[in-house]
Homo-oligomer: A and B are copies of this chain.
Amino acid sequence: MNEPRIVTAAVIVIGNEILSGRTKDSNLNYLATGLTEIGIRLMEGRFIPDIEDVIVATVNELRAKHDYVFTTGGIGPTHDDITSASIAKAFGLNWVLHPRAEKLLLDHYGRENLTEARLRMAHTPEGADLIDNPVSVAPGIKIGNVYVLAGVPRICQAMFDGLKAQLKGGDKVLSRTVSGYVGEGTIARDLGALQERYTMLDIGSYPFFRGGKFGASFVIRGTEQAKIDAAAIELHDIIRNLGAEPIEGEPAA
């Protein structure tokens, strides 16, 4: 058995409006799901304010630790959009006008509407690549292993979808979910023993309350399908022995 090839990522959600509660983030979940699909393991998420020093420190900590870092938020035209310049600072690079980004904005807005503020969106850390924005033109930025995406969910998600094919994942984490109307406290001992027999897998237990009954979904994750399936079969038996019926997947709502 080979060691799995593990490729990791971190997501940094940047914005005072998230930390004040004004805005609900939905980008972390979108990126988490998309990264899992392509074999990249999201190891941590950071939610931080629009403060330059914090952005610089967080980006530098995480780009050293992970294969990929994705940021969301703070790349618009207003004074509070400081992500791009902060990331230039994190890399020790100048923040400069990117000719192709300028051309994109010029074609979109026309010379008379390409305000100085909008031109901020054509600045990148020196030597950065652009990330396509099919929604509102102003591009995202790739510098080193850091991908700088918009905060508006529709734009963030479109940028990510567009660059997904360039990202190189490792061995995918496969998963199989088995559910049952059993109390977590009732099944816990057998479930823990199952986890101990399958140390190469990660078995999670997630309780639910549906139609007036308690139950739980058990998610078996790992890189080897055969092991996952073997554990799932044992789990079916465990659930049956407790007098419940195993359900493949999540129970119907």
Contacts of A95 in B (CB 8 A): none
Chain B nearest CB: distance from A241 CB in Å? 15
A43 at interface, CB cutoff 8 A: yes
Chain B nearest CB: distance from A80 CB in Å? 5
A79–B192 touching, CB < 8 Å: yes
- Please report A residues at the B interface, Cβ cutoff 8 Å: 11, 13, 16-26, 28-30, 32-36, 41-50, 54, 76-81, 109, 113, 115-118, 120-121, 152, 173, 175, 184-189, 191-192, 195, 202-207, 219, 221
12 additional contacts, CB 8 Å, given A16-B202, A20-B173, A117-B184?
A13-B45, A17-B204, A19-B45, A23-B206, A25-B28, A44-B46, A77-B185, A78-B192, A80-B202, A80-B204, A115-B186, A116-B189
Q: List 28 A-B contacts (CB under 8 A).
A: A13-B45, A16-B202, A16-B204, A16-B221, A17-B204, A18-B29, A18-B45, A19-B41, A19-B42, A19-B44, A19-B45, A20-B32, A20-B33, A20-B36, A20-B175, A21-B29, A21-B35, A44-B47, A46-B47, A47-B47, A76-B184, A78-B192, A80-B204, A80-B205, A81-B205, A117-B186, A118-B188, A152-B207
